Amino acid sequence: MKKIVNHIGNVLFYGFLIACICISLSVFQAMRQGVQPSFLGYKFFVVLTGSMSPTFDVGDLVVVKETEPEAISVGDVITYSVGNDNVVTHRVKDIMNDDTLQFVTQGDANNVEDMNPVHHEDLVGKVVYQFAGMGAKVQFIQENIIIIVGLFITMMASSYFFVHQLKKVTKKVE
């Protein structure tokens, strides 16, 4: 029974370690390519301004599901690209479908609609969830990812060797 528990523990440990390495590699590759990392069709963004207050506060983390433009409705909160590296999260106030599909947006805290409609090609996706206050923690992790991954791997390796040495000592005692 003890061996089965040890094997299950090892499988879980190495599975978790492999998953962390895979996620880290995908984040590094996305950062190198200059795109926002995506996990199973979901992207995560930190709210940096108060334009969507009280719906979202500065420092919240929003989860954005990649969505087809045709699936967006009036009242949905969307995230869209503005320029090269900037994204905005605002509520859809109107949908225009003249020559191309465009969204009229407005921040909940703003008195007027945004000046320019959002072209459907600039749509990142629809906000599906928020984590209040988690954005600051995510930004810290993003800014220090190499240090954190290095510390994590060091801790996991140290734990493994400690447990391995402990097993040797207990075998000698028996």
Please tell me the predicted confidence (pLDDT) of residue 151: 85
In a 10 Å sphere around its CB, with 0-12 CB exposed, 13-18 middle and 19+ buried, how is residue 64 labelled?
buried
pTM: 0.68
Residue 20 to residues 25, 53, 71, Cα–Cα distance (Å): 9, 34, 33
> Which pLDDT does position 141 carry in this prediction?
74
Check residue 174 and give its pLDDT: 60
Predicted pLDDT of residue 108: 95
CATH numbers and ranges of domains, the chain: 36-134 (2.10.109.10)
Q: What is the pLDDT of residue 118?
A: 94
Residue ranges in the chain modelled with pLDDT below 50: none
